[in-house]
Amino acid sequence: MNLFADKIVDFKNASSTEMAHAFVDIAFLDTALTYLLDEQWLHKDQELAEIVTSLFARELASLDHLRSQLDLSSKKSIRAAQAEALKTQEDLLLFIKIRADQEQKIFLREALQKMSGLFSFETLLQNERKVKNEHLGFSLYRTFDGLDKIFDLDYEADIGMKQDLAVKERLYEGAGVGVQSGYSTVLTALKNLNLKAGDRFIDLGSGYGRVGLVVGLMHPEVDFIGYEYVPHRVDISKHTTERLEMTNHVHFQTQDLSLKEFHIPEAEIYYMYDPFSEETYGHVLSQLIKFSKYRKITIITKGNARGWLLDVVRKEGWLSPQEFDSGNLCLFTSR
């Protein structure tokens, strides 16, 4: 089986754009084949061929061009295809990683563009299932984490990190990729923001910088600032920003946001992935609420940060949030 037969002769001769599209297809295929096996187990009364036909007509429609190259006649052949997809993805990323930085930048931007479309389709399917009180059987949340290799996001830098007990903030030491917002979260948020040239986007607790790196690639017209308490995470973020030549519009700084003397800059967009203690939430939100009195702002929340902003909505009369992924991602906008 050659998963690249229809578009790529070999890795060495493929363009960065072709490689980006292939990466997204292969990474999605890995998730899709697990989904296919789950559906086969749930619907034992159906023939596997019927299940395959049904899924590729709807949920897996974007992979239909690969279907003829796959043997999906049995659980054994599906598992074999999955193993090959995983190996192909690893090889592809290795070939991209040895290319010039500008070629890697093209690869990343093209992959993110295609991923954005898939996440939009996933949201559509989730909403359709929700109306029927059903659950979508697959999630693309961690499907494309392989991109971290191209971004040089080394989560092992957290190994051995010890939190000072006097520090109240949630540093998520040893959390690895879990310290980062998923690509689906960032791209879904960007899809639903009306970003304009000159807008400022601030990440309050930027971790290893995934949000800023994605914003920088997708919206070079936007000024991004990421504040992070842990210095080695900021160093890694800055390294990739410099390598991809985005230092004019993407900035990362080591900062304790709980310090009373530090004042958050004004911006159109703020992002929070549940990073603070109760005391710091109060300090940070009081500044953002002050801004909202004389300018319109949007606060994107991921995870439990949502609860703090719902309280702001009630007290300040903000608009009800746009919710995605069952409220795990929310966009709150002041009036």
Positions in the chain short of pLDDT 50: 1, 4-9, 165
pLDDT of 7? 40
CB 73 within 8 A of CB 121: no
179 and 34 belong to one structural domain: no
CB 123 within 8 A of CB 188: yes
pLDDT of 6? 44
Orientation angle between helical segments 101-131 and 210-218, nearest 10 degrees: 100
pLDDT of 328? 93
What is the pTM for the complete model shown? 0.92
Cα–Cα distance for residue pair 335/332, rounded to 1 Å: 10
* Range of the structural domain that residue 181 is part of: 154-333
Cα–Cα distance for residue pair 3/67, rounded to 1 Å: 9
Q: Is residue 1 part of a domain?
A: no
pLDDT of 175? 52
Query: What do you get for the CA distance between the two ends of the chain, in Å?
Result: 56
Burial string for 23-55 (b: 16+ CB within 10 Å, else e) reads bbbbbbbbbbbebbbebbeeeeeeebeebbeeb
Q: Is residue 55 part of a domain?
A: yes
139 and 170 belong to one structural domain: no
pLDDT of 2? 54
113 and 170 belong to one structural domain: no
223 and 299 belong to one structural domain: yes
Q: Is residue 2 part of a domain?
A: no
